[in-house]
Structure formats: C-alpha cells, structure tokens
Structure 1
C-alpha cells in the first residue's frame, strides 16, 4: 500500500491510497485531466499539458515511483505546475 498526493498549482490538490501503480497513474490522469479540462484552456493547450507535464509524471509513477516505494522510500516528481508524491504506507 502507498499514498499518492498531488497538487496542480492554483487549481487542485488531492490524494489517493492503494496498492497498484497502474491504478494510481489512471486516477492521476482522470483527476488532473478533469481539472485541466475545466480550467478554460483551449484544446491545444490541454493536449500540450497532458504531453509535457502529465505523461512524464504518469510514467514516473510506474517506473521510478514503484522502485522507490518498493524500497520503502518516498518518491516525488514535478513537471511544470504538477507535483506528485508517493509515500509508502506506514
């Protein structure tokens, strides 16, 4: 089990707890994607946000994040206005 917390500067902050890194990446995509969609950005800006900021963080969850949490360490990654932290469950 681990906890994922994230913040999208000036828009949204939330958390999720679970045991599956793929599910964590899907939840992040859904929640941050909804915040971006509701932000008033045009479709091109939304696509750029997903490619430049959200995708690298999602990939990090499945790779470096999984490795760090498996070793009992915290992992964090920032991309533009998005910050995500994975913390092993106590």
Structure 2
C-alpha cells in the first residue's frame, strides 16, 4: 500500500517522500535528516547524539507502529525531540 511520509526538523528542514516500502522510507529519512544535521553546524559528537537519540527511534517506529497504522487505513505520527514524522495513506 502506497503512503506518504512527511517530516520536519524544527526550524531547520521539512520534506516529504511517497512510496510503498517502509524500509525505503526509513532509509530516505536517515539520508535526508542526516544531511540536514551534518550541515547544521553541530559538533560531530552532537550530531551522533542527535541521530542516535532522535532519528534512530523514529526509524524503528516507522516499521512497528507506522506500518500497522497505514495497513489499517489510518495516519500515524510521532516526534522525538525536534523531529516530527508523519505517515498518511496515499489517496
């Protein structure tokens, strides 16, 4: 089932992606948020902390909670720190 993923990194970056693979969604989120974080001016240790503390848990939740919600025709969203991710079924 195709779905749309949108995310926002508060005061820095917002983007979206559409597809039907939760694995690909998690990879896109990692790549694009990782790119925004790497150009943010944060020190490397702060970047590592951000990715482990905020991004990694949301990527895991996409598989568990997001896929379940989309499969039942519902939306799903979750936030971790300054990062918000939302999945919606494709129209």
Q: Aligned residue for 2:29?
A: 28
Using the size of structure 1 for normalisation, the TM-score is 0.99
Q: Aligned residue for 1:71?
A: 72
Q: Aligned residue for 2:41?
A: 40
Which consecutive segments of 4 or more residues in structure 1 shift more than 6 A? none
Q: Aligned residue for 1:51?
A: 52
C-alpha distance in 2 between matches for 1:80 and 1:30 = 18
Deviations along 1:29-48, one digit per CA (max 9) or x if unpaired, are 00000000000000110000
Deviations along 1:37-89, one digit per CA (max 9) or x if unpaired, are 00000011000001110001000111100000000000001000000000001
- Please report the RMSD computed on the Cα atoms of aligned residues, expressed in angstroms: 0.4
Q: How many residues align?
A: 90
Using the size of structure 2 for normalisation, the TM-score is 0.98
Q: Aligned residue for 1:10?
A: 11
Q: Aligned residue for 2:86?
A: 85
2:37 aligned counterpart, secondary structure? helix
